[in-house]
């Protein structure tokens, strides 16, 4: 079928909305009419050629309505409201053990650009193959996804709002609720108050954590952090990183770094209590450690966790329920954009003006 999709032809160039051909679904797949799709830092890395071969249709926080299901699909029906999450095989050891974010095929399925079976489902009007992002490519009027990526959600909640639960919000909240599982007395420090960091704050609030420290250098973001549950906010322009331990002499049991900054990760490790754990969830580069003083001597851990160690089919409906109950106000992070303004949404995400832009795709046939 013919769709309109925001395509990247050349690295670091703006997205262009073009007509493309989308293949019909296979037995394991679902066709979704996309309502909206969140913009995430990972999309910007993909646009700049950093994750997936080009040409490429980005978008990995889609929400929409099921239009058609394949013969083997059981979990959703035509008309269901759904969120699209990351792709996983469902068969490897980690998937079977309930950790699909740790799927042994995670990278190829989410960043390799091809379908589960190695084919391409998107093509230009001149029939050249186009790569898929996160198994969905939801910056498009329609998307096809494997059943594993499709999560049925409560139809009473505004569908346009829900896409970011599929990646960024799930990553932050899941790192706390699924992976770290802190007790109320376990102090937690969160580095970076973007969408992922603020979702971690909300997750920590749900978990009843009594001390939630947020470190950033943007006062607007820190104000929102306070609004959604942070107990202590630190602007690094006011308190230099080397003074952070003086502010919190008892240290923290857990830290989450959402920035990928080696300086902040080292600072986080320094702030940990003995046997504490720092989780990195942001895209970053190289880090130099002193294994003795930074880790071993105090039995500290440094871990990487993808997608909040979530089982999307269970965790996303749970987050929707918390939202309905007023415990998870992630709508405070959101601004909506028309589909045609998608490059503005990317720019506002990068500048930090808007924490979580969502582009509205609906209304197209």
Query: Contact positions toward Zn ion, by CB under 5 A?
Result: 88-89, 92, 95, 103
- Judged by beta carbon, residue 89 or residue 144, the one nearer Zn ion is 89
Residues whose CB is less than 8 angstroms from the CB of residue 35 and which lie 6 or more positions away in sequence, other chains included: 63, 64, 65, 159, 160, 163, 360, 361, 362
Cβ proximity to Zn ion: between 43 and 146 the closer is: 146
216 versus 307: smaller Cβ distance to Zn ion: 307
Integer Cα distance of 206 and 285 in angstroms = 31
Question: Cβ 233 to Zn ion, closest distance in Å?
Answer: 38
Q: What are phi and psi of 207, to 5 degrees?
A: -75, -5
Using the minimum distance from each CB to Zn ion, give the nearer residue, 95 or 256.
Answer: 95
In whole angstroms, how close is the CB of 153 to Zn ion at the nearest point? 23
CB of 70 to Zn ion, least distance (A): 19
Closest CB 91 distance from Zn ion, rounded Å: 6
**How far is it, in rounded angstroms, from Cα 229 to Cα 332?**
12
Cα 59 to its chain centre, rounded Å, is 11
DSSP letter string, 309-351: G--HHHHHHHHHHHHHTTS--GGGGEEEEEGGGHHHHHHHHHH
The least distance separating Zn ion from the CB of residue 105, rounded to whole angstroms, comes to 5
Looking at the DSSP bridge assignments, the partners of residue 361 are none
Token reading at 208 = 């009843």
Minimum CB separation of residue 100 from Zn ion in Å reads 6
Give the residue among 157, 162, 103 at the shortest CA–CA distance from 135.
103
Nearer to Zn ion, 76 or 92 (CB): 92
163 close to 328: Cβ distance less than 8 angstroms: no
Return the number of the residue (92 or 347) whose C-beta is nearest Zn ion. 92
Return d(Cα 303, Cα 46) in angstroms, integer. Answer: 24
Q: How is 202-224 classified by DSSP, letter by letter? A: HHHHHTT-S-EEEEES-HHHHHH
CB of 139 to Zn ion, least distance (A): 25
Which lies closer to Zn ion via its Cβ, residue 31 or residue 95?
95
CB closer to Zn ion out of 313 and 321 = 313
Cα–Cα distance for residue pair 271/283, rounded to 1 Å: 21
**Shortest Cβ distance from residue 290 to Zn ion (Å)?**
35
């Amino acid at each position: 079928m013919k769709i309109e999709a925001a395509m990247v032809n050349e690295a670091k160039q703006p997205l262009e909305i073009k007509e493309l051909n989308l293949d019909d679904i296979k037995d394991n797949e679902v066709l979704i009419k996309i309502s909206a799709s969140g913009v995430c830092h990972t999309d910007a890395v993909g646009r700049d050629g950093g994750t997936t071969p080009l040409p490429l249709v980005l978008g990995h926080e889609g929400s929409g309505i099921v239009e058609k299901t394949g013969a083997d699909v059981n979990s959703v029906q035509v008309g269901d409201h759904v969120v699209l999450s990351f792709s996983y095989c469902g068969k490897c050891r980690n998937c079977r053990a309930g950790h699909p974010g740790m799927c042994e095929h995670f990278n190829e399925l989410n960043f390799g650009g091809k379908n589960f079976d190695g084919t391409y489902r998107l093509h230009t009007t001149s029939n050249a193959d186009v790569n898929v992002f996160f198994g969905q490519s939801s910056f498009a009027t329609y998307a096809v996804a494997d059943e594993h990526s499709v999560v049925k959600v409560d139809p009473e909640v505004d569908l346009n709002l829900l896409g970011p639960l599929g990646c960024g919000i799930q990553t932050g909240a899941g790192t706390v609720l699924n992976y770290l599982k802190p007790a109320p007395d376990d102090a937690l420090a969160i580095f970076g108050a973007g969408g992922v960091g603020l979702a971690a704050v909300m997750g920590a609030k749900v978990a009843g954590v009594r001390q939630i420290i947020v470190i950033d250098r943007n006062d607007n973001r820190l104000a929102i952090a306070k609004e959604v549950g942070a107990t202590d906010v630190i602007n690094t322009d006011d308190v230099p990183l080397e003074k952070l331990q003086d502010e919190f002499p008892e240290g923290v049991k857990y830290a989450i770094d959402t920035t990928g900054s080696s300086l902040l990760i080292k600072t986080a490790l320094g702030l940990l209590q003995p046997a504490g754990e720092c989780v990195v969830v942001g895209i970053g580069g190289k880090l130099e450690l002193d294994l003795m003083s930074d880790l071993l001597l105090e039995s500290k851990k440094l871990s990487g966790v993808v997608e909040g160690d979530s089982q999307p089919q269970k965790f996303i409906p749970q987050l929707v329920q918390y939202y309905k109950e007023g415990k998870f106000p992630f709508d405070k992070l959101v601004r909506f954009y028309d589909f045609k303004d998608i490059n503005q949404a990317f720019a506002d995400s990068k500048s930090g003006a808007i924490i979580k832009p969502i582009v509205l795709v609906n209304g197209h046939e």
